[in-house]
């Protein structure tokens, strides 16, 4: 289940792309399939082991663009182990809400992104997240859980404040917000609850089958209760090396 829209965040084969806070690797796998030289970065060694295993399976299966390459790197988002101006693009999906010093993490993203490079950030949307916090203390007090609720304006202001340019936004996963409200109401770890089980089965069916009815429903729900907000940014080009306005506009549509 992808949150970043790769119709807006276009990937060229051979581009060096960082998936910062990759988790189980859903975006890293898509980047690899599209021919990127992807670095899946996370603090969790167990998660990275699973991502590495999947990368190996994808290589064995074949069919990847010849430019594609993938590796896993463990580390801290506050001190990325990469040189300045290293990546063509960066994805940071559902990670900044976990980091106490989010501004330092944002500055690291700016540092390792090439001038003219693009960044896709996703965080939980304010309204669905606020409902979850109201329904369940466990949802946001568990170790490693969410420590803040961003408004889109705050997220954009923080990244603009350190030098990024905003290139547009959208919401995603409108069908998923009610599932998390149910989970928070019945207990976030109560997977056996009949309502939670039934809604989870609906989501799995939707992901596997992608029927027109749920696609249309999600399109209507996303702007209102989309579980995630996705914002796209550009790091301004270096002095004397202006980026192409036409290309940036096309990518942000």
In a domain, 184, yes or no: no
Name the residue among 35, 33, 38 with its Cα closest to residue 16. 38
Q: To the nearest whole number, what is the mean pLDDT of the chain?
A: 93
* CB 167 within 8 Å of CB 247: no
* CB 84 within 8 Å of CB 112: yes
Summarised one tens digit per residue, pLDDT across range 53-106 is 999 999 999 999 999 999 999 999 999 999 999 999 999 999 999 999 999 999
* CB 26 within 8 Å of CB 1: yes
Dihedral over Cα of 157, 163, 169, 173: its sign: negative
Query: Mean per-residue pLDDT for 5-22?
Result: 98
Number of folded domains in the chain?
1
Q: Tell me the CATH number at 144.
A: 3.40.50.150
Does 126 have pLDDT greater than 60? yes
| Overall pTM surpassing 0.85 (yes/no) | yes
In a domain, 208, yes or no: no
In a domain, 215, yes or no: no
In a domain, 249, yes or no: no
Q: Decide: helix, strand or coil at residue 78.
A: coil
Of 68-82, 113-127, 202-216, the least confident: 202-216
Q: What share of the chain is helix, strand, coil (3-state, %, to 5)?
A: 45, 20, 35
DSSP state at residue 237: P
Query: Mean per-residue pLDDT for 150-163?
Result: 98
What whole-number distance in Å separates Cα of residue 135 and Cα of residue 113?
38
Does 251 have pLDDT greater than 90? no
In a domain, 150, yes or no: yes
Q: What is the pLDDT at residue 222?
A: 97
Summarised one tens digit per residue, pLDDT across range 165-198 is 999 999 999 999 999 999 999 999 998 999 999 9
In a domain, 82, yes or no: yes
In a domain, 216, yes or no: no
Q: What is the CA radius of gyration of the chain?
A: 18
Does 241 have pLDDT greater than 70? no
212-225 and 176-186 helices, crossing angle to 10°: 70
Q: What share of the chain has pLDDT > 70, as a percent? A: 94
Does 238 have pLDDT greater than 90? no
Q: Is 104 left (phi over 0), alpha (psi -120 to 50) or beta?
A: alpha
* Domain limits for position 233: 16-125+136-172+226-239
Query: Mean per-residue pLDDT for 8-21?
Result: 98
In a domain, 198, yes or no: no
Q: Is 110 left (phi over 0), alpha (psi -120 to 50) or beta?
A: alpha
Characterize the bridge pairing of strands 87-93 and 37-42: unpaired
- Read off the tokens for 221: 């729900």
Characterize the bridge pairing of strands 16-20 and 87-93: parallel
* CB 57 within 8 Å of CB 89: no
Characterize the bridge pairing of strands 228-234 and 16-20: unpaired
Q: Decide: helix, strand or coil at residue 166.
A: strand
**Residue in the structure block whose two tokens are 């997977």:** 191
Of 119-123, 151-155, 238-242, 246-250, the least confident: 246-250
């Amino acid at each position: 289940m992808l949150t970043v829209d790769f119709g807006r965040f276009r990937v060229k084969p051979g581009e060096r792309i960082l998936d910062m806070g990759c988790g189980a690797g859903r975006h890293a796998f898509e980047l690899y399939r599209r021919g990127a030289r992807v670095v899946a970065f996370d603090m969790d060694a167990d998660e990275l082991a699973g991502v590495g295993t999947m990368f190996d399976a994808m290589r064995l299966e074949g069919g990847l663009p010849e430019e594609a390459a993938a590796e896993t790197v463990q580390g801290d988002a506050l001190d990325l182990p990469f040189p300045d101006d290293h990546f063509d693009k960066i994805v940071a999906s559902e990670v900044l809400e976990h980091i106490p010093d989010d501004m330092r993490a944002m500055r690291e993203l700016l540092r390792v992104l090439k001038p003219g490079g693009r960044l896709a950030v996703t965080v939980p949307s304010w309204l669905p997240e606020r409902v979850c916090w109201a329904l369940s203390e466990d949802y946001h007090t568990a170790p490693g859980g969410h420590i803040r609720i961003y408004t889109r304006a705050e997220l954009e202001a923080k990244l603009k404040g350190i030098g990024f340019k905003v290139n547009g936004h959208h919401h995603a996963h409108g069908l998923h917000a009610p599932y998390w409200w149910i989970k928070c109401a019945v207990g976030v770890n109560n997977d056996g609850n009949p309502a939670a089980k039934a809604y989870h089965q609906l989501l799995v069916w939707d992901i596997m089958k992608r029927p027109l009815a749920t696609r249309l429903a999600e399109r209507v729900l996303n702007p209102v209760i989309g579980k995630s907000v996705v914002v796209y940014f550009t790091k301004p080009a270096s002095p004397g090396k202006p980026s192409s306005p036409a290309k940036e506009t096309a990518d942000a549509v």
